[in-house]
Structure 1
C-alpha cells in the first residue's frame, strides 16, 4: 500500500473517531453493498435481439463517441474493464434485448437457455445479475402502448414477454446464489390529453396481475414496478404513474422502483425514501441524473446523490433497498461513464456513513438546530477523500483519477479498433 495513502487514512480515521465514527467498520459495511451496474450504457440501449430497430418508448441517446459494443462478448469485455476500476463486488443489470444466443427468438419466447453465456460469465466474475423485460423499441410497441394496449393480441405478446422474463430472473438467482431483481417498466401513454384515463390503467393492472400470478422463490427472484411522470410521446398522460405503481406495489408486495429522472423536475427521490419505506416491502433505486428532464446523464457527486446516500444510511434503509444505475451517454467514453457513475454512487454512501448521525439526531431532537446545521456543514470538509483512497487501494482498484489512464489505454487498444 502506498505509504501516503495509509498515513492519510490513519489521520482521517483518528479525526472521525473523535465523534465516535468507526471508519474501519464503515468500510466493511460498504464492501457488502452491491450496485447493479446497467449494461445498456455500453452500447446505447441497442441490445442484440433487434439491433437495427429504432429506439422508441421515449428512449433517446445522443452522441457518437467511438467504441460502442457490437456483440455480447464485446459488452462483457467492456463491463469487465469498468468493474476492474470500481471497488467492491457488484451486479450487472441486463435488459431482455441483451440476449446472447445463436437462435432466432422473439421477446415472448425467451428462455433461460438464451442467457446461459451471461450466467457462465457472471459465475466466472463473481457477479450477480438483475433483469428487465424490454417493452420498447419493438414493432409491437410502435404506437406507444404495450401492457395497456387495447388490442388483446398485442397485450398478450407483452404479458408473455414479462412472464418469460420472470423465469429468466429466477434462473439467474438459482444459478448465481444472489437474488435477481426484475423490474417492469412500460412506456405506455398519450402525447395529448386522453378522454379515458381509467381504461388503460385497468388494462395495465389486469396485465400485471396475470404476469405476477405465478409465485416465485423470493430467495432467487423479486419483482419491481417502475413509474414515470412523462416521456417523449407521452407528455400528457402516462398509464403507469407514480400513484398507480405505488398503490399496486404496496397492495401486491412488489418492490417499488424510484428513478431519479421520472418525476417533476423539482421533485427528488431522496425525500420519498423514508415515506415509502414505512409501507413498501422493499425499494429499487434507478440512480440517474436528470437535466431539466429525464435525460439520464452520468451520475455526478451532486446534492441529490449525496442526499440519497444520507437517507439510506440515516434511515437504516440499506437492508431493504436495491441500488441500480440508469444512464446512457454516447458523447463520452462509455467505459469511463460506468466508472464515474458507479464510483460516485459508492462515494456518496461512504460519505453518509462517515457522518455523526447520532450527534445530529440528538441535536435535532433537542431543538438545537444551530448545532445540527453547524456540525453538518463542518463535516462537508472532513477528510472523506483520504478514506476513499484507502478503500480503493484496499480493494485493489486505482486511487483517484489513476483509473482514467487505464480507460484511455483500453480505448486505444480495444475501443477505437471497433470502427
Structure 2
C-alpha cells in the first residue's frame, strides 16, 4: 500500500474488509478466517461481564478491555464500511495502514481475550472442570471450522487447463504481459506462470515485491466490479503495462463480473482450455516504448552502459575491437569503447577511422584499455590522461555549477597514487 493511498477511494475500498466477507469467505484474504475466531472476543466479553456481576469488576477489567480492543480492531479492518473510516485521514500514520492489516491484530486479541477470561474465571470460581470443558468445546469447534479450508493445505498439482493456456501463450511469438484476474487458488504454481508461458505474468501469489502491485490493485478492483468503478484508470494501465492477454477461471464466484470487466477494458475471448478462458486485447500495445540511437558498447566494462541508458537501445560486446567489421559498426549510431582491447592497434585504428568517416559517433573511455595514457589514442589525435583529484571538484554543466566533495568518493579506491583518479 503506497503512502497516502488511503486518500485514493479505489485503493481504500480495495483494502477495506467487507463485513459480509467475514462469514461468506468470498475473498481470498478471509479464506483462513474461521468463524469461531469472530465469536471468541464476544464469548470472552460475555463471560467476563457475567463474572463481574457476581464477583465484582476488579478481576474482570483486563479481559473486558482486551475483548473490546479486539472488537475495535475488527471494526478498523472494515475501513470504509464503518464510521471509523474517518480515523484513517485524521490520526497520524493511519493513512499508511491498509485496513485489512487489523485483521491480524483482531485474531491475536480475540484469542488473548478468551484465554484471559478463562484464566480469571477458573481461578475465581474454582470450577476448573467447567472451564476445561468450555476450552475443549471451543477447540473442537475451531478444528471443525478450519476443516473445510484443509484443501488449501494439500499439495497442488498443475491444473491441466492452466498448463495448456500457458503453452498457448508461449506459442505466440511476441513480447507482452499477461494479466491473471480471478483464478482459483493454484497455490504457488501461479508463480511458475512466467516459466510455463515464457511471458511476463502479472498477478498471483508472491507479488508483494512486484513494483506494479498498487497498479494491479486498481486493475483488480475495476475488473471485479465489472468495470463499474475506476474503469478509465484501469484502461490506461492495461495499455501502459501492455497486458495483451488476460486469463480467468469460469469456476470463480465472481467470474461473471470479471468477464464483463475484461470486455469493458477492451478484451475479447480468443481461446478456452477447460475452465480457463483466454482474452486478447482488441488493440495492440507496445511492451517496450523507447526511441533513440542504437548503441554498441565494446570492452570489459561494456556491461555497465545499459544501466546509463535504456537497455533496449544497447548491445554489448566483450571481445576484441578489431574482430568486428566495418559492417558490424555501421549498424549503430554510437559506438562506446569502454575498457576495450585489440589484437592489432593498426587494424583497430583503421576500423574506427572508417566508422567515423561514414558518419558514426565514437565515445572513448581509455580506462582498462591499452590506450590508457596514450598521447594519440587510436591515431585520433587526442590524448589519454589520468588525473588525481583532491579536495573539491568544480565543473559546469549547462551553466550550473555542481560541487562535489571528492573525500566522500575516495573510500575504497586505490587507483594511481592512492587518490581518487579519473
Q: TM-score, normalised by structure 2?
A: 0.22
Largest Rg, 1 or 2: 2
Larger RCO, structure (CA 8 Å, separation 6 or more): 1
